[in-house]
Structure 1
Amino acid sequence: MKILTWNINGIRASKVNLKTLFDSLDADIICLQETKVTRDQLDEPTAIVDGYNSYFSFSRKRSGYSGVATFCKDSSIPFCAEEGLSGCLTTKAEGSIGHYGHQSCFSADELESLDAEGRAVITQHKIRDKNGEERNLAIINVYCPRADPDKQERHLYKLRFLALLQTRAEALLESASHVLVLGDINTTHKSLDHCDPNHEEFTKKPSRIWLNQFLWPANRDPELPEVVDKEDYPFVTTHTKGGLFIDTFRHLYPDQQEAYTNWSTVTGARETNYGKRLDYILADIPFTKNYLADGVIMVLVEGSDHCPYKIELTCPVVSALKCPQLCTKHMPEFAGKQQKLSSFFQKISKEEKVDSIIDLSDKSNNTLRSKLPDELKMSDSQDLHLAKNNAKNLAKKRESDLSAELVTKKKKLDTKLGQKQSSLINFFTKKTSNPITSSTSETILKTEDTGKILTETDEILSSSQESSSSIQSENDLNGDKEKNEVKSETKEFQTVNKPTSLDAWKKLLKGPPQPPLCKGHKEPCVLRVVKKTGPNKGRQFFTCARPEGQKNNPEARCDCFLWVDKMKR
């Protein structure tokens, strides 16, 4: 039996279909976090994957946010499935798992709020031990909140969520069931699990203290303080015990370094393995000792800022005969009980249209025929023949009317398209006066394709054949003089290059300066923007283009940093 956890960072963002992706992961139970899909956004290719049955938890606060999903092979169908940790989202009629523990330390509103972001799905399975006996196994697929340092309420929300998670996990253990708590815990345990643990915030994180007391003593970090007075910590309650679970990866590989599951995509830190381990599979002590065979961090699997972590067990899973009520196959929009919206937009053939009109004609003719006297009624064959002819004629008429309407619309569209739109370059072209006098009608045409200025001079109109030869010769001299002036002006216009739209935009909108070379590698820097809330939010800066990494790594980025607004343009 193989169980896998992975923060997929958007289940709909996968570049390959889920069937191919899941088969490549080679696991019987696949637990995904941060699916970023709500109930109204769940489509059939995501909900129904051939060979798998799925169980989702959706955020009820924000769209495209949080969310977890557990996909089980059809050979590993769970016996029960439940959404959330508190029991507020599931009733007994839907096949709840139960065993919620002591929740007196939580208010009703707090329990509802902690389950409103779609952060937990629990599936109850059965496994067979070495003696052939069946035992329960509860898998808690969880996506723990992130503590925003700028929002104190989110920090408290995370700690209370961890307290509720421990309350439910220990309650399931007391029910004689094995328990796995797996997913994105959103904290690192030991300094060995972080690429840069030598900062002050790392050693004081309450979530690390919670994880430390949650694990059994052999897994604990002696550098972290012990939880003595539980009332001083919001992440535990007076009813929780602690020390009942094992970190499966550290149990198998206690001293392995640089074993990370998360990297920053903004800084390209995955290339230098500058990350941290946030994804865990925590198992109860007897289960770990009796069934854990191996574990692997699948760093080669891309598509997210996290990578999967998978364990292999020696016990086989016993599959249920049918899927629990929470399974997406039972949702009305996927169970065939409700007509899908897409069916209203399907194209209907001409034959289907004619048949539908014939059916309507048959019904109307039968109604009218029932009201006629017997001597005026026609035979069924005559009536049917007449109805079909009427329907076909009506269909042809509708088709001809539609064709005429389309032709009219096409003519109007062609007329609109025929009207040329002014080019952007016209707004940046300097207008010049025409030196041509009234005695000469000369038109200067400017083509958009070649940019050349064409001149066309009309013939000088002779005033009259009765004019004297002296006046005619004087007009010819004046006309030649004016022609020479026009030609010289035209030649001057042709020597000026036509400005392009790119040049015009460059004059109108000045972009950032050319990127400087970084100090360490003498390579062009990359432009970035401050997104963190604060006085510098929105400011642009240049930094080394190489990925983030350890300071002693020559392939990692150097410490080059320069604000754009302080550079000389």
Structure 2
Amino acid sequence: MKVLTWNINGIRASKKSLKVLFDSLDADIICLQETKVTRDMLDEPSAIVEGYNAYYSFSRKRSGYSGVATFCKDTAAPCKAEEGLSGILTSQSEDSVGFYGNLNDFDGEDKELESLDAEGRAVITQHRIKCKDGEIENVAIINVYVPRAAEREDRQQYKLRFLSLLQNRAETLLQNNSHVIVLGDINTTHSALDNCDTESEEFTKRPSRLWMNQFLRESDRDPKLQCNDEESDILGGTMTPNLIGGLFVDSFRNLHPDQEGAFTNWCTTTNARENNYGRRLDYILTNEKLHVNCVTDAIIMPEIEGSDHCPVKVNYDFEIVIPKKCPSLCTKFMPEFRGSQQKLSSFFVKKPDSNVKISDAEKELKSQEIVSLKVPVITNSCQSESLNVTNLKKRASDSVLSTSKSKRSKMVKSEVSKQSSLKTFFVNPKKTEEKLSPSKLINLKFSEHIPKSPDSKAIPIQTKTSPYFNKASESKSVVKSAVLGSGEGTASTKSSSSSAWKSLLSGPGKAPLCKGHKEPCVLRTVKKDGPNKNKQFYVCARGEGHSSNPEARCDHFVWVNHKSK
């Protein structure tokens, strides 16, 4: 059986259909992180994939944020499934996984547990497997998207508490006769071999890295990450006291202990993937017994694009026993995808009351009333034909509707007629006459009284151009002619018009050459909050890489100096 994990960075952003994408990954169980869909955003193409059954966890805090999903082939369906790590989000039904461990160390009244499960970061599926010796056993696959701590102290605390809850659940399942596979975006690098830049002294001091080291078995730990007293206090303040540690194996690193450049995440803004300048953040961690007996291969798939992460896949030597039915968490049982969702129109239709009985006499009376309304009645020749009530209502509504339509059309026409055209921004005859002095105004008015020849053509008279127009810039006069003219200008006028528009709407200019490679730079914008937000700068266009790599991006940097127009 092949198990795969991948931070997809938005499940709806895939250019391929999920069916085609999943088939190309060649895996029986596909665990995705950062799906970025909430319950109300889930559509049918993301929920129902032919040949697969899906299990989602959604963020309850923010829309389009976080989220994980596990897709199992129909031949690898789970017997149980549930959302979250604490058990708060599950209904405790017969197809929930169970075994939640000691949760007394978490804040009371379930507030902390509810917060840790509210961001849609975990889905657990339990499968029945047949091992090589023929024994039928259980294996729980915990698909997680560990929070990113960044530089915020509250998020660092949240991340460590999440890791504590994750370890508590995984070890509890192990103690209750189930194998466990913990996989996903763990958002930490374990050893120096898993990071492109290990020159920083803080590399060995991160609490999440210390957690990873103690979570793995003794032989897989990094000796440089052994906790001293101070670091033990940091972890001790966030980890629950009942944790054991040392029960899991990093399946990829165990099979490839010395492989360098085995990264799964790269920065997209600096094109770091081009030079493989990244980190290994995605793991498949298997409990020791299952790893030793069943793991046969583990690979990283950097050739798969579409995200800032790439997939990791591990091959296990066992078969899955297919259950009779999928767990209730499966998306195909959601009301909107199983065809039993109640339509909105059903709320507006009055259902007949079966308890109310109508006698035959009442039915006959109602039928006579309906006939009297529909049949026209004529009293005498002077009276007009009476109209039935239905027609009166219809005609009244039609007249009101036609009146409102005519009013709306008149309003639209009046609004269209009042709308200003582009010409009004360049010429305003009234204001022009007000600004001109009497002498200048006489010169302008004089052109209206130019004598005409018998053939009604104006006699050419040479006049001096008014000083008022000489003060206007050449580009503005050309723009006026381009806007006001009707295509009668000469070729020189059109070319000057084009150059005038370009001068008014000019961009940032030609990109400079970088110092290291003498190649055109790329323009970027500061997105981070601060005094330089939205400012633009030029940097080398090559991908980010190590400082010792001559083919990587050089250190060229220059701010864009926008000239005022």
Same fold (TM over 0.5): yes
1:222 aligns to what? 223
Q: 5 Å matches for 1:9-20?
A: 9-20=9-20
Q: Is the 8 A contact 1:301 1:307 kept in 2?
A: yes
Pairwise CA distance, 1:564:
3.0
SS at match of 2:20: helix
SS at match of 1:271: helix
C-alpha change, 1:191 and 1:373, in structure 2 (3 Å) is closer
Q: Is the 8 A contact 1:210 1:235 kept in 2?
A: no
Moved more, 46-55 or 219-228: 219-228
Pairwise CA distance, 1:168:
0.6
- 1:519 and 2:515 correspond: yes
Q: 1:24 and 1:342 mapped to 2: Cα distance?
A: 42
Q: Is the 8 A contact 1:11 1:35 kept in 2?
A: yes
Pairwise CA distance, 1:418:
7.3
The one of 475, 484, 508 aligned to 2:461 = 484
Q: 1:507 and 1:195 mapped to 2: Cα distance?
A: 46
C-alpha change, 1:338 and 1:174, in structure 2 (3 Å) is same
C-alpha change, 1:300 and 1:232, in structure 2 (3 Å) is closer
SS at match of 1:441: helix
C-alpha change, 1:399 and 1:487, in structure 2 (3 Å) is farther
Q: Which amino acid aligns with 1:528?
A: R
Q: 1:241 and 1:324 mapped to 2: Cα distance?
A: 31
C-alpha change, 1:262 and 1:438, in structure 2 (3 Å) is closer
C-alpha change, 1:550 and 1:127, in structure 2 (3 Å) is same
Q: Is the 8 A contact 2:263 2:279 kept in 1?
A: yes
Pairwise CA distance, 1:550:
1.6
Q: Which amino acid aligns with 1:171?
A: T
Moved more, 501-510 or 130-139: 501-510
Q: 1:253 and 1:267 mapped to 2: Cα distance?
A: 28
1:329 aligns to what? 332
Q: 1:306 and 1:60 mapped to 2: Cα distance?
A: 24
1:39 aligns to what? 39
Pairwise CA distance, 1:540:
2.8
Q: Is the 8 A contact 1:230 1:238 kept in 2?
A: no
1:91 aligns to what? 91
Q: Is the 8 A contact 2:5 2:31 kept in 1?
A: yes
Q: 5 Å matches for 1:284-433?
A: 284-339=287-342, 370-371=364-365, 421-423=420-422, 426-427=425-426
Q: 1:5 and 1:246 mapped to 2: Cα distance?
A: 16
Q: Is the 8 A contact 1:541 1:563 kept in 2?
A: yes
Q: Which amino acid aligns with 1:271?
A: E
Q: 2:144 and 2:342 mapped to 1: Cα distance?
A: 33
1:558 aligns to what? 554
Pairwise CA distance, 1:39:
0.9
1:532 aligns to what? 528
SS at match of 1:241: coil
1:2-60 per-residue CA deviation (whole Å, 9 max, x = no partner) reads 11100000111111121111111111111000011111111121111121111111111
SS at match of 2:76: coil
C-alpha change, 1:336 and 1:398, in structure 2 (3 Å) is farther
Q: 5 Å matches for 1:60-71?
A: 60-71=60-71
**Percentage of matched positions with identical amino acids:** 55
Q: Which amino acid aligns with 1:172?
A: L
- 1:549 and 2:550 correspond: no
Q: Which amino acid aligns with 1:484?
A: I
Q: Which amino acid aligns with 1:530?
A: V
C-alpha change, 1:398 and 1:163, in structure 2 (3 Å) is same
Pairwise CA distance, 1:93:
2.4
1:49-101 per-residue CA deviation (whole Å, 9 max, x = no partner) reads 12111111111111111110111111111111111111111121263211111
Pairwise CA distance, 1:485:
3.1
C-alpha change, 1:540 and 1:406, in structure 2 (3 Å) is same
Q: Which amino acid aligns with 1:212?
A: N
Q: 1:236 and 1:60 mapped to 2: Cα distance?
A: 25
Q: 2:399 and 2:220 mapped to 1: Cα distance?
A: 80
1:460-516 per-residue CA deviation (whole Å, 9 max, x = no partner) reads 89xxxxxxxxxxxxxxxxx95xx4136988x999x9644679877777778646432
Q: Is the 8 A contact 1:94 1:326 kept in 2?
A: no
Q: 5 Å matches for 1:69-88?
A: 69-88=69-88
Pairwise CA distance, 1:555:
2.2
Pairwise CA distance, 1:171:
0.5
2:382 aligns to what? none
Q: Which amino acid aligns with 2:46?
A: T
Pairwise CA distance, 1:223:
1.1
Q: 1:254 and 1:147 mapped to 2: Cα distance?
A: 28
- 1:441 and 2:429 correspond: no
C-alpha change, 1:97 and 1:397, in structure 2 (3 Å) is same
SS at match of 1:371: helix
2:121 aligns to what? 119
Q: 2:519 and 2:335 mapped to 1: Cα distance?
A: 57
C-alpha change, 1:268 and 1:238, in structure 2 (3 Å) is same
Q: Is the 8 A contact 2:479 2:500 kept in 1?
A: no
Q: Which amino acid aligns with 2:335?
A: P
Q: Is the 8 A contact 1:541 1:564 kept in 2?
A: yes
- 1:50 and 2:53 correspond: no
Q: Which amino acid aligns with 2:312?
A: Y
Q: Is the 8 A contact 1:162 1:235 kept in 2?
A: no
C-alpha change, 1:560 and 1:318, in structure 2 (3 Å) is same
Give the total of aligned pairs: 503
Compute the TM-score of the two structures, normalised by the length of structure 1: 0.77
2:136 aligns to what? 134
Moved more, 121-130 or 20-29: 20-29
C-alpha change, 1:497 and 1:104, in structure 2 (3 Å) is same
Q: Which amino acid aligns with 1:261?
A: T
C-alpha change, 1:440 and 1:284, in structure 2 (3 Å) is closer
Q: Is the 8 A contact 2:187 2:281 kept in 1?
A: yes
1:385-412 per-residue CA deviation (whole Å, 9 max, x = no partner) reads xxxxx99xx9999999999998997898
SS at match of 2:273: coil
Q: 1:506 and 1:428 mapped to 2: Cα distance?
A: 21
List gaps (5 residues or longer) in structure 1.
345-365, 383-389, 443-456, 462-478
- 1:148 and 2:142 correspond: no
Q: Which amino acid aligns with 1:157?
A: Y
Q: 1:106 and 1:373 mapped to 2: Cα distance?
A: 71
List gaps (5 residues or longer) in structure 2.
348-359, 376-388, 484-497
Pairwise CA distance, 1:537:
3.8
Q: 1:152 and 1:460 mapped to 2: Cα distance?
A: 90
1:179 aligns to what? 180
SS at match of 1:16: coil
1:335-356 per-residue CA deviation (whole Å, 9 max, x = no partner) reads 2221356999xxxxxxxxxxxx
Q: 2:502 and 2:432 mapped to 1: Cα distance?
A: 20
SS at match of 2:212: helix
Q: Which amino acid aligns with 2:421?
A: S
Q: Is the 8 A contact 1:258 1:273 kept in 2?
A: yes
C-alpha change, 1:372 and 1:153, in structure 2 (3 Å) is closer
C-alpha change, 1:173 and 1:520, in structure 2 (3 Å) is same
Q: 2:344 and 2:49 mapped to 1: Cα distance?
A: 20
Pairwise CA distance, 1:568:
12
The one of 252, 257, 276 aligned to 2:255 = 252
Q: 2:171 and 2:137 mapped to 1: Cα distance?
A: 17
Pairwise CA distance, 1:417:
5.9
Q: Which amino acid aligns with 1:268?
A: N
C-alpha change, 1:343 and 1:20, in structure 2 (3 Å) is farther
Q: Is the 8 A contact 2:478 2:500 kept in 1?
A: no
Q: 1:248 and 1:300 mapped to 2: Cα distance?
A: 20
Moved more, 519-528 or 334-343: 334-343
SS at match of 2:171: helix
Pairwise CA distance, 1:236:
2.8
Pairwise CA distance, 1:225:
1.7
Q: 1:104 and 1:124 mapped to 2: Cα distance?
A: 25
- 1:238 and 2:241 correspond: yes
Q: Is the 8 A contact 1:230 1:236 kept in 2?
A: no
Pairwise CA distance, 1:425:
8.8
